[in-house]
Chains A and B, each alone.
Chain A
Amino acid sequence: MPVRVRRKLAFAVVVVLTVLATAGIAAAANGGFTPEFAHSPNAHRINTAYWIVLVFTSVIFVIVEGALVVFIWKYRRRGRPRTAEGSQVHGNTRLEVIWTVIPVVILAVIGIVVFYELPGISNAPAAANPIRITVEGHQFYWQFDYPNGSRSINDLHVPVDQVVLLTVKSYDVVHSWWIPQLGGKIQAIPGRTNHTWFKADRAGTYYGQCAEFCGLYHEAMRARVIASTDADYRTYVSSTAASELGRAEFQGACATCHGMQGQGGYGPNLAHDPLLIQPSGLANIVRNGGVKMPPVGDSWTKAQMTALLQYAKSQIYKGASTSGG
């Protein structure tokens, strides 16, 4: 082997090894080569399906791109005259049948894999007492309705290792519910009720955000699922949720535009707005929206309005100011 070729070869080997090593490290750390680590059976099964499809598509990828590279190298002109013709082959029926049938077979296998995994993804496992929670997408926050009637905003508290059945709704525009580690998306569509489920396999906090463009603050519509022990969950829904509701409502629904202290932002300053302490006025604008304000609280209960009023009164309102906000 001449020195030049050997050097080229060595270079190629180094490049390939570097690429493989980088890809390997990234894959091991889940650098985005697979969906996020799954913590719910449905998400697990989606990842399994993903891996199987990845194997097939990678093989096809290597064959196609490999053939392309080899042909580019092998059949390049190399000083032949421009007009020199290549082999005048018009086709080959047997070859063409082969590369029609093989993809059909591969796709059939992928289809079978998907249908094999499907029931475990779309159907919640049978459980004696599943937790039923209603998820409402709003411009620009998530609201959760627990079985006992309590509500929370943006933070969904659930017990670990229990099946949680979600009913997903919207009253304004289309949103999409998605906590990557707990399974796939489902749109929250006004006028329609959708369903999904998960079963968190470990205590902890799972992050997600609205996945369907829903307007100005689409990016701010983030959600957390906090999975804890059954006892903690019960304490949360029976008392904590109610005591935190006013703060959660203000921070989830109002602060996006008006600032965490009501100091103003995209929306006007609230800290000195007397409307904040008028029960009917506040309820009216929260329920129906304003000039630029969406009807953030169109599905709120009286208790929710009261909670908001109390929080606003005690924490945000700083007294009327003549100088304006």
Chain B
Amino acid sequence: MAVRSDAVYPATWKSGRVASWLVTLDHKRIGIMYICTALVFFCGGGIAALLMRAQLATPNETLLTKNSYNEVMTFHGTTMIFLVVVPILAGFANFLVPLMIGARDMAFPRLNAFSYWMFLLGGIVLYGAWFASGGAPRAGWWSYPPLSENQFSPGHGQDYWILALHILTISSLTGAINFLVTIINMRARGMTWMRMPLFIWAIITYSVLLVVALPALSAGLTMLLLDRRGLTHFFLPAQGGSQVLYQHVFWFFGHPEVYIMVLPVFGMISEILPVFSRKPIFGYKAIAFSTLAIAFFSLLVWAHHMFTTGLPVGLDSFFMISSMVIAVPTGIKIFNWIATMWRGNLIFDTPLLWAVGFIALFTMGGLSGIFLAAFPIDWQVNDTYYVVAHFHYVLFGGSMFGVFGGLYYWWPKMFGRLLDERLGKWHFWLTLVGFNLTFLPQHMLGLLGMPRRIYTYSHGGLWETYNLISTIGSGIMLIGMLVFAANIYRTQILRLGKRAPNDPWVGDTLEWYTTSPPPPENFDTVPYVTSARPLRDLRRHLAEET
């Protein structure tokens, strides 16, 4: 049993309302801080997105300047990936992993707090970049050299960007190691690998991916920084460097990153669907192993981001095949999820709405991915709005829909109150309609030849129509998000949310065994785990006894 240092050296200031959060080592509080911070950053990234959509609503628009458009674009991408989706999932993992495996806390609580504070620091540094000499970074979230080199991006904005990402990388890496050690060592008695909740399978896989892929990003960023501030020329072709090297290094990290952002959400869906279908998950092993398969293949597909780089056809072919192979385990998951609903008792509370929305939209994102994997087709649609549509179906329609489902599902466990169902449904439907209005026409824009990352366009006709629809859609999504904010306000600030019992959804996993919210060390006792659904076992056991 871990001895807490604050028990040895009691300090009263640490028990203050604010101070207790600042010094907390409790995984639940750290998880909540992760989630809340990420939601704040989500507002920033969302405002950036709305600004871009406003700028693109009509041809030859000059709402933003060219410079600020590029800054906002860079900020949006960097924020949503590094400050929203990845950390909010880390927040869920922090909150849920010890609860789901029946542990008191994470293996290394201090390292855990360190991860969170590094995340916050990284975010602050990225925001600091807005005040850098020479302006905010504007070479995009992928920051290809030579554009991101000193010659083309003078000033310190780009350096702040590199520093922010370095800090965030450290945060994610320490977090990932912590999850791995915790899951491998601290599971409840009886919880064998095949009895772990599928969310835990997803987190262990996500952690391995982080450990493998993030160092590539760190290396690439370090080389870029040395090019800029040292005297090296890793990526400067005029001095013998290689631009394509950066593309390889960046995407070796960048593609697994996509799965880092979506695997934990797969895990959430695999938790939510069975509970609201009143059924076990269909094909537990298939879902667990397909997670591993996706992670493995995700390390072998990076150059499908580079089909227009002019790689040899043999290499393009390899990366096409490996990318298509990923569709198989992903398909297995989708079919298994749908089969989970088969002959169920579907309870359409808000979490299930988001989960079903996730399946519908992620399928769309997966299918458009097949076009992109077929590299000759990619030569046409690469770097157009088709790609923008594709990955928003994956990362917003996929990841963020799953995250919202997860928030509605686990909110009562986190805060002890249920979010309002009526507002939750408004939130869902507005977001669903707004999302499709925003991103469906972007497929068409891409096929009509609209490249990504352009500040404006002079084409009328369909370009204008689709862009306008897209901007209107983003406005509807904004209303959806405001409803969500109102829901949080009503539930938590006005304290009008219904008080949650231990197990409001009649769940299957151990987090529902303790109180809502759980006490500092989570459990008094943990039942011996006899299957992947320990709480259902317990309920049946109790029913038999009475």
Binding site for B on A (CB under 8 A): 31-36, 43, 45-46, 49-50, 53-54, 56-57, 60-61, 64-65, 67-68, 71-72, 75-77, 80, 82-92, 95-96, 99-100, 103-104, 107, 110-111, 114-115, 117-118, 121-122, 139, 168, 172-174, 176, 178, 180, 183-187, 189-192, 194-195, 207-219, 266, 294
The residues of A that contact B313 with a CB separation of less than 8 Å are: 118, 122
- Is there contact, CB below 8 Å, between A65 and B343? no
Closest residue to B455 on the A side, CB-wise? Answer: A219
The residues of A that contact B324 with a CB separation of less than 8 Å are: 107, 110-111
The residues of B that contact A82 with a CB separation of less than 8 Å are: 278, 347, 506
- Is there contact, CB below 8 Å, between A77 and B448? no
Q: Given A46-B377, A83-B278, A294-B152, check contact A114 B506 (CB 8 Å).
A: no
- Is there contact, CB below 8 Å, between B237 and A190? yes
Q: Given A189-B243, A192-B310, check contact A122 B376 (CB 8 Å).
A: yes
Indicate which residue in A32, A35, A43 contacts B445 across the interface (CB closer than 8 Å): A32
When chains A and B are docked, how far (Å) is the Cα of A107 from the Cα of B374? Answer: 10
A112 to chain B, nearest CB (A): 11
Indicate which residue in A33, A85, A103, A172 contacts B327 across the interface (CB closer than 8 Å): A103
When chains A and B are docked, how far (Å) is the Cα of A118 from the Cα of B307? Answer: 13
**Binary contact readout B311-325 vs A (1 if CB under 8 angstroms, 0 otherwise):** 001000100110011
- Is there contact, CB below 8 Å, between B452 and A103? no
When chains A and B are docked, how far (Å) is the Cα of A87 from the Cα of B444? Answer: 42
Q: Given A172-B146, A173-B147, check contact A50 B286 (CB 8 Å).
A: no
- Is there contact, CB below 8 Å, between B454 and A218? yes
- Is there contact, CB below 8 Å, between B66 and A183? no
When chains A and B are docked, how far (Å) is the Cα of A71 from the Cα of B339? Answer: 9
Closest residue to B367 on the A side, CB-wise? Answer: A57
Q: Given A35-B447, A45-B376, A46-B376, check contact A99 B454 (CB 8 Å).
A: no
- Is there contact, CB below 8 Å, between B449 and A115? no
A262 to chain B, nearest CB (A): 19
Instruction: Identify which of A32, A82, A100, A111 gathers the most chain B CB atoms within 10 Å of its CB.
Output: A32
Closest residue to B465 on the A side, CB-wise? Answer: A31
When chains A and B are docked, how far (Å) is the Cα of A54 from the Cα of B377? Answer: 11
The residues of B that contact A219 with a CB separation of less than 8 Å are: 66, 454-457
The residues of A that contact B449 with a CB separation of less than 8 Å are: 36, 178, 180, 207-208
When chains A and B are docked, how far (Å) is the Cα of A298 from the Cα of B528? Answer: 73
A304 to chain B, nearest CB (A): 21
B396 to chain A, nearest CB (A): 18
When chains A and B are docked, how far (Å) is the Cα of A45 from the Cα of B377? Answer: 9
The residues of B that contact A192 with a CB separation of less than 8 Å are: 237, 243-244, 310
The 8 closest A-B pairs by CB, nearest first: A191-B237, A184-B379, A32-B444, A86-B344, A194-B310, A219-B454, A91-B283, A87-B343
- Is there contact, CB below 8 Å, between A46 and B380? yes
Interface: B144 (CB within 8 A): yes
A72 to chain B, nearest CB (A): 7
When chains A and B are docked, how far (Å) is the Cα of A35 from the Cα of B280? Answer: 43
The residues of B that contact A84 with a CB separation of less than 8 Å are: 278, 345
Closest residue to A181 on the B side, CB-wise? Answer: B449
When chains A and B are docked, how far (Å) is the Cα of A60 from the Cα of B367? Answer: 8
- Is there contact, CB below 8 Å, between B146 and A117? no
**Binary contact readout B375-407 vs A (1 if CB under 8 angstroms, 0 otherwise):** 111111111100000000000000000000000
- Is there contact, CB below 8 Å, between A186 and B310? yes
- Is there contact, CB below 8 Å, between B327 and A211? no
Instruction: Identify which of A54, A110, A209, A217 gathers the most chain B CB atoms within 10 Å of its CB.
Output: A110
Q: Among residues 339 to 381 in chain B, which have CB atoms less than 8 Å away from a CB atom of chain A?
A: 339, 341-348, 356, 359-360, 363-364, 367-368, 370-371, 374-381
- Is there contact, CB below 8 Å, between B308 and A176? yes
B488 to chain A, nearest CB (A): 25
B41 to chain A, nearest CB (A): 23
Closest residue to A100 on the B side, CB-wise? Answer: B332
Query: Beyond the given A91-B285, A173-B146, A213-B147, could you list 12 further A-B residue pairs with CB under 8 A, ordered by the A residue number?
Result: A35-B381, A53-B371, A57-B368, A64-B363, A87-B343, A95-B339, A111-B320, A174-B147, A189-B310, A190-B243, A191-B241, A213-B70
When chains A and B are docked, how far (Å) is the Cα of A77 from the Cα of B341? Answer: 11
Indicate which residue in A61, A77, A216 contacts B345 across the interface (CB closer than 8 Å): A77
- Is there contact, CB below 8 Å, between A76 and B146? no
Q: Given A185-B380, A186-B310, A187-B309, check contact A213 B363 (CB 8 Å).
A: no
When chains A and B are docked, how far (Å) is the Cα of A31 from the Cα of B379? Answer: 20
Interface: B150 (CB within 8 A): no
When chains A and B are docked, how far (Å) is the Cα of A67 from the Cα of B339? Answer: 9
The residues of A that contact B242 with a CB separation of less than 8 Å are: 191
Q: Given A75-B344, A189-B309, A215-B152, check contact A68 B360 (CB 8 Å).
A: yes
When chains A and B are docked, how far (Å) is the Cα of A192 from the Cα of B245? Answer: 12
The residues of B that contact A176 with a CB separation of less than 8 Å are: 308, 383, 451
Interface: B328 (CB within 8 A): yes
When chains A and B are docked, how far (Å) is the Cα of A183 from the Cα of B146? Answer: 26
The residues of A that contact B343 with a CB separation of less than 8 Å are: 75, 86-87, 89
Closest residue to B461 on the A side, CB-wise? Answer: A31
- Is there contact, CB below 8 Å, between A173 and B345? no
B345 to chain A, nearest CB (A): 5
The residues of A that contact B282 with a CB separation of less than 8 Å are: 89-92
A73 to chain B, nearest CB (A): 10
When chains A and B are docked, how far (Å) is the Cα of A32 from the Cα of B371? Answer: 15
Indicate which residue in B327, B379, B466 contacts A32 across the interface (CB closer than 8 Å): B466
Instruction: Identify which of A45, A46, A80 gathers the most chain B CB atoms within 10 Å of its CB.
Output: A46
- Name 21 A/B residue pairs within 8 A (Cβ), A-sorted: A32-B446, A32-B447, A35-B380, A53-B374, A68-B359, A77-B348, A86-B277, A86-B344, A89-B343, A90-B280, A92-B282, A96-B332, A103-B328, A107-B370, A111-B324, A187-B308, A212-B383, A213-B452, A215-B147, A218-B454, A219-B66
Indicate which residue in A34, A91, A187 contacts B284 across the interface (CB closer than 8 Å): A91
- Is there contact, CB below 8 Å, between B367 and A67? no
B115 to chain A, nearest CB (A): 32
- Is there contact, CB below 8 Å, between A117 and B376? yes
**Binary contact readout B133-171 vs A (1 if CB under 8 angstroms, 0 otherwise):** 000000110001011000010000000000000000000
- Is there contact, CB below 8 Å, between B335 and A99? yes
When chains A and B are docked, how far (Å) is the Cα of A115 from the Cα of B359? Answer: 31
When chains A and B are docked, how far (Å) is the Cα of A50 from the Cα of B370? Answer: 10
A123 to chain B, nearest CB (A): 9
- Is there contact, CB below 8 Å, between B278 and A85? yes
When chains A and B are docked, how far (Å) is the Cα of A73 from the Cα of B334? Answer: 18
- Is there contact, CB below 8 Å, between B336 and A96? yes
When chains A and B are docked, how far (Å) is the Cα of A183 from the Cα of B279? Answer: 50
When chains A and B are docked, how far (Å) is the Cα of A46 from the Cα of B376? Answer: 6
- Is there contact, CB below 8 Å, between B376 and A61? no
Q: Given A32-B445, A32-B448, A33-B444, check contact A187 B338 (CB 8 Å).
A: no
Interface: B238 (CB within 8 A): yes
A103 to chain B, nearest CB (A): 5
- Is there contact, CB below 8 Å, between A90 and B284? yes
